[in-house]
Amino acid sequence: MNIILLGPPGAGKGTQARRLVAERDMIQLSTGDMLRDAKVSGTDMGRRVAEIMDRGELVTDEIVIGLIEEKLDGKAKGGLIFDGFPRTLAQADALADLLARHGEALDAVIEMQVDDEALVRRITARSVCASCGEVFNDETKPIPEDGRCSNCGGTEFTRRGDDNEDSLKQRLLEYYKKTSPLIGYYYAKGELRRIDGLADIDEVGVEIDKCLDG
Ligand code: AMP
pLDDT at 163: 86
Instruction: Report the distance separating Cα 129 and Cα 152, nearest Å.
Output: 9
Mean pLDDT for the chain overall: 92
Instruction: Report the distance separating Cα 50 and Cα 44, nearest Å.
Output: 10
Q: How far is CA 183 from CA 86, 87, 108, in A?
A: 11, 11, 12
pLDDT at 74: 62
Instruction: Pick the atom of ligand 1 nearest to 53's CA.
Output: 12
* Best residue among 39, 59, 65 to mutate for probing ligand 1, ranked by most atoms within 8 Å of CB: 59
Place 42 in a pLDDT band, splitting at 50, 70 and 90: confident
Instruction: Give the model confidence (pLDDT) of 158-193 as tens digits.
Output: 988 888 888 888 999 999 999 999 999 999 999 999
Q: Dmax over Cα atoms in the chain, in whole Å?
A: 48
Catalytic residues: 13, 87, 126, 160, 171
Tell whether pTM > 0.85.
Answer: yes
Q: Is 53 in the pocket of ligand 1 (CB under 6 A)?
A: yes
Instruction: Give the model confidence (pLDDT) of 47-88 as tens digits.
Output: 989 999 999 999 999 999 999 999 987 666 779 999 999 999
Q: What is the mean pLDDT of residues 131-138?
A: 89
Q: Is 197 in the pocket of ligand 1 (CB under 6 A)?
A: no
pLDDT at 120: 85
Q: How far is CA 1 from CA 26, 45, 164, in A?
A: 8, 31, 35
List phi, psi (to 5°) of 133. 85, 0
